[in-house]
């Protein structure tokens, strides 16, 4: 193995390590504060809307939607926390 090949290989290994390190940037979601009752969530975030978060489906429902407050796999949370937690809005319309 020639000296220049070893030097180039060492540079390549360092570059690969730097790329791997750059790809491990921390992605964090907003911590959720789930509540059993709507009034508890509203007291927690008085300036925000309360939504029903379905953990199993990964979506949230707004007040007036058919599945708001329904199911065993969900909780009431603040809308900004749901959005910050990377949950998406339900595509179902309002009733």
- Only one residue has tokens 């429902």, namely 61
Structural domain includes residue 76: yes
Structural domain includes residue 14: no
Structural domain includes residue 43: yes
Task: Give first-to-last CA distance, the chain, whole Å.
Answer: 73
Structural domain includes residue 6: no
What is the dihedral sign for C-alpha 7, 13, 14, 15?
positive
Structural domain includes residue 20: no
Structural domain includes residue 71: yes
Q: Report the distance separating Cα 80 and Cα 28, nearest Å.
A: 15
CA-wise closest residue to 82 among 54, 43, 46, 42: 54
Tell me if residue 52 falls in helix, strand or coil.
Answer: strand
pLDDT in tens, the chain (95 residues): 556 555 554 555 555 555 555 555 555 666 889 999 999 999 999 999 999 999 999 999 999 999 999 988 999 999 999 999 989 999 876 65
Model pTM score: 0.66
Count of structural domains, the chain:
1
Domain that holds residue 82: 38-89
Going by their DSSP bridges, the two strands 74-78 and 88-89 should be labelled as unpaired
């Amino acid at each position: 193995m020639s000296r220049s090949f070893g030097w180039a290989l060492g540079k390549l290994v360092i570059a690969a390590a730097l790329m791997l390190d750059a790809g491990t940037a921390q992605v964090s979601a907003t911590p959720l504060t789930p509540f059993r009752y709507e009034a508890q969530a509203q007291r927690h975030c008085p300036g925000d809307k309360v939504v029903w978060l379905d953990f199993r489906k990964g979506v949230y429902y707004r007040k007036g939607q058919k599945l708001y407050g329904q199911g065993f796999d969900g909780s009431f949370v603040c809308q900004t926390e749901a959005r910050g937690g990377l949950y998406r809005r339900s595509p179902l319309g309002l009733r």
